[in-house]
């Protein structure tokens, strides 16, 4: 690709190099690097199912260790609320109140989502705020017809000169309505953190947010800080970071030419949640809890959710202690065959490692080096839920280009669904990934790993988006919990579906986990 001097300056201002951009272009042209699925992970074959006694024991393990550990909750929170209201924007665009009725529109289009929205209108967390705004801008609102009232309600939610909810980050949108106040997802994460991500009455919570929302989040914390700290008895150390410009990717046209904006400039786009590995890599804590911003519930469910987070953390601590013990032994003692066998069994039973036959042909020295390499890695314990919805991203056994089989989290976009064999494996998957992880990012010497050393850089994919009525192609980095953690040691544990309550559409706020009774 030929770049002008202005292009090169723009690339450098984006903290990128010409070499990196050309590498991005090559990958976009090459297309998505599909994952080769071998089989779906199931209970007993990559997924652990704990008994009630085991669950309680791991919770106890966490409680016994929490006050001597540095804990942090890491919350990807840069997502905008736009998609939550997609079905309402479609309605506003298509509905003509002069020619149609809302009920007629719903019936003709079989729009059950719109029907649910209107039926649950008064239960929405922002209902009172919208109504208040309606009366402020439309003094005779009560005199309007049924359809006019509902149409104006949606306009007041979404219009730029009114409440403009779609421009909010999800974290700051009204999420839950209590008797005395309305809370945001941001606030709910703080209450959760006090229960399982706090040590010695202090909770560290790190949010990755868009730069244009820095002030909004800071102001929200100032507004709720005193009340939340008083109610939880916990001091909160809140930190924020933005996705680094150096992780952005150049955009191409569908014909693989450089896309240019009307002013002639190159277009660089955020490269998916895999870019947040850099933010995660900047943390220095013993245990990191990862949970998405929209996966929260009302307070009546917090204790139950905290139990499973503690359980995952206890399992991490227990497994990590054994791994560290083995690593210290490999450093300080003469290694015999029995020790190698014990470590090998540990890797297979705890971390689902599949060991190639060639291992047994190695010399003792090379066996020790192999075992240290396999053991001395970041560890993640992931909560996995039963697949009771459409099949999609989740835990699978995959084969890499060298023929090695390993247990991975795979996103739907990474799967060649046109391939019948791959499609069948996805169809038969029993579990999916709710993005519920507890991570250990320090080695047995207490040093923080460089997480960039454990990424499968081939696990990228190419997306097609729309820009000013033009289709463009862009690169997405290996996902944060997919390719970016490909060479971590992984344990996947079945957890109840109650732990997964994402808000992808506004109607999700009407579901029981988001309603305070």
Alpha carbon distances (Å) from 265 to 5, 7, 465: 12, 7, 18
Nearest 5°: the CA angle 390, 391, 393 is 125
Judged against a pLDDT cut of 80, whether residue 390 lies above it is answered with no
Q: Which of 472, 438, 502, 500 is nearest to 250 (CA)?
A: 472
Report CA torsion sign: 208, 214, 218, 221: negative
Average pLDDT, stretch 455-482? 93
First to last CA, the chain: 60
Q: Which of 464, 448, 453, 457 is nearest to 482 (CA)?
A: 457
Averaged confidence pLDDT in the chain: 95
Report CA torsion sign: 343, 345, 349, 353: positive
Question: Which positions ≥6 away from 300 have C-beta within 8 Å?
Answer: 516, 517
91-109 pLDDT tens trace: 999 999 999 999 999 999 9
240-280 pLDDT tens trace: 999 999 999 999 999 999 999 999 999 999 999 999 999 99
Using the structure block, give the residue that is written with the tokens 């809890």. Answer: 289
Q: How far apart are CA 130 and CA 31, in angstroms?
A: 45
Is-contact 41 389, C-beta < 8 A?
A: no
| Pairing outcome for strands 379-386 and 489-494 | parallel
293-305 pLDDT tens trace: 999 999 999 999 9
Determine how many CB atoms are found less than 10 A away from the CB of residue 12: 11
Is-contact 507 116, C-beta < 8 A?
A: yes
110-160 pLDDT tens trace: 999 999 999 999 999 999 999 999 999 999 999 999 999 999 999 999 999
Predicted pLDDT at 392: 57
Is-contact 480 271, C-beta < 8 A?
A: no
Question: Which positions ≥6 away from 496 have C-beta within 8 Å?
Answer: 308, 385
Determine how many CB atoms are found less than 10 A away from the CB of residue 439: 26
Nearest 5°: the CA angle 218, 220, 225 is 95
Nearest 5°: the CA angle 44, 45, 50 is 35
Judged against a pLDDT cut of 80, whether residue 281 lies above it is answered with yes
Instruction: Provide the CB-side half-sphere exposure for 370 (13 A, CA).
Output: 19
Q: What SS3 state is found at 481? A: coil
Q: How many residues in total does the chain contain?
A: 517
Is-contact 15 245, C-beta < 8 A?
A: yes
Cα-trace Rg, the chain: 25
Which stretch of 357-361, 397-401, 420-424 has the lowest confidence by average pLDDT? 357-361
Q: How far apart are CA 258 and CA 6, in angstroms?
A: 14
Determine how many CB atoms are found less than 10 A away from the CB of residue 260: 13
Q: How far apart are CA 209 and CA 214, in angstroms?
A: 7
Residue 356 banded pLDDT, cuts 50, 70, 90: confident
Predicted pLDDT at 389: 65
| Pairing outcome for strands 235-241 and 252-253 | unpaired
Which CATH topology does 5-81+168-317+427-499 take? Spore Coat Polysaccharide Biosynthesis Protein SpsA; Chain A (3.90.550)
| Backbone dihedral angles phi then psi of residue 385, each to the nearest 5 degrees | -110, 155
Q: How far apart are CA 76 and CA 274, in angstroms?
A: 11
407-466 pLDDT tens trace: 999 998 899 999 999 999 999 899 999 999 999 999 999 999 999 999 999 999 999 998
24-43 pLDDT tens trace: 999 999 999 899 999 999 99
Q: What SS3 state is found at 378? A: coil
% the chain with pLDDT above 70: 99
Instruction: Provide the Cα torsion 182, 185, 189, 190; round to 10°.
Output: -40
Using the structure block, give the residue that is written with the tokens 């919805």. Answer: 389
Q: How far apart are CA 462 and CA 34, in angstroms?
A: 10
Q: What SS3 state is found at 226? A: helix
Q: What is the DSSP string of 266-317?
A: B-EE---GGGGHHHHHT---SEEEEE-TT----GGGHHHHHHHHHHHHHHHH
Residue 80 banded pLDDT, cuts 50, 70, 90: confident
Q: What is the domain partition of the chain in residue ranges?
A: 5-81+168-317+427-499, 82-167
Predicted pLDDT at 455: 97
Is-contact 53 183, C-beta < 8 A?
A: no
């Amino acid at each position: 690709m030929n770049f002008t001097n202005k292009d090169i300056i723009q690339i450098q201002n984006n903290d990128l190099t010409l070499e990196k951009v050309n590498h991005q272009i090559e990958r976009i042209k090459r297309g998505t690097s599909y994952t080769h699925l071998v089989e779906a992970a199931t209970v007993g074959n990559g997924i652990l199912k704990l008994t009630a006694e085991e669950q309680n024991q791991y919770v106890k393990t966490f409680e016994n260790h929490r006050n001597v550990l540095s804990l942090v909750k890491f919350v990807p929170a840069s997502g905008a609320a736009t998609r939550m209201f997609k079905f309402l924007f479609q309605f506003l665009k298509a509905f003509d109140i002069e020619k149609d009725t809302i009920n007629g529109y719903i019936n003709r289009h079989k729009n059950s989502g719109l029907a649910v929205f209107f039926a649950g209108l008064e239960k929405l967390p922002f209902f009172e705020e919208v109504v208040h705004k309606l009366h402020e801008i439309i003094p005779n609102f009560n005199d309007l017809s049924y359809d006019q009232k509902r149409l104006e309600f949606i306009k007041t939610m979404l219009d730029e000169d009114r409440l403009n909810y779609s421009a909010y980050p999800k974290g700051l949108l009204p999420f839950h309505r209590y008797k005395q106040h309305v809370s945001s997802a941001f606030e709910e994460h703080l209450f959760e953190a006090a229960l399982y991500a706090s040590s010695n009455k202090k909770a560290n919570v790190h949010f990755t947010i868009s730069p244009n929302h820095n002030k909004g989040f800071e102001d929200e914390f100032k507004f709720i800080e005193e009340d939340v700290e008083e109610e939880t008895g916990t001091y909160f150390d809140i930190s924020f970071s933005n996705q680094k410009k150096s992780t952005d990717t150049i955009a191409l046209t569908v014909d693989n030419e450089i896309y240019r904006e009307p002013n002639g400039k190159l277009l660089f786009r955020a490269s998916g949640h895999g870019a947040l590995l850099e933010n995660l890599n900047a943390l220095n804590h013993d245990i990191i809890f990862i949970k998405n911003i929209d996966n929260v519930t009302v307070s009546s469910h917090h204790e139950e959710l905290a139990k499973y987070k503690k359980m995952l953390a206890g399992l991490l601590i227990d497994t990590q202690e054994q791994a560290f013990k083995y690593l210290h032994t490999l450093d300080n003692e003469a290694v015999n065959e029995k020790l190698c066998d014990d470590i090998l069994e540990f890797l297979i039973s705890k971390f689902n490692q599949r060991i190639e036959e060639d291992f047994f042909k190695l010399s003792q020295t090379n066996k020790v080096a192999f075992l240290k390499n396999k053991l001395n890695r970041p560890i993640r314990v992931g909560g996995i839920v039963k697949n009771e919805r459409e099949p999609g991203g989740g835990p699978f056994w995959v084969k890499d280009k060298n023929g090695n089989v390993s247990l991975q989290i795979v996103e739907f976009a990474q799967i060649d669904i046109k391939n019948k064999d791959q499609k069948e494996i996805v169809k038969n998957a029993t579990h999916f990934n709710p993005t519920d992880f507890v991570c250990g990012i320090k080695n047995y010497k207490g040093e923080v790993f460089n997480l960039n050393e454990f990424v499968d850089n081939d696990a990228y994919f190419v997306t097609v988006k729309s820009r000013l009525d033009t289709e463009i192609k862009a690169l997405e980095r290996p996902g944060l919990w997919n390719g970016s953690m490909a060479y971590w040691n992984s344990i996947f544990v079945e957890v109840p579906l109650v732990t997964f309550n994402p808000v992808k559409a506004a109607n999700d706020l009407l579901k029981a986990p988001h309603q305070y009774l």
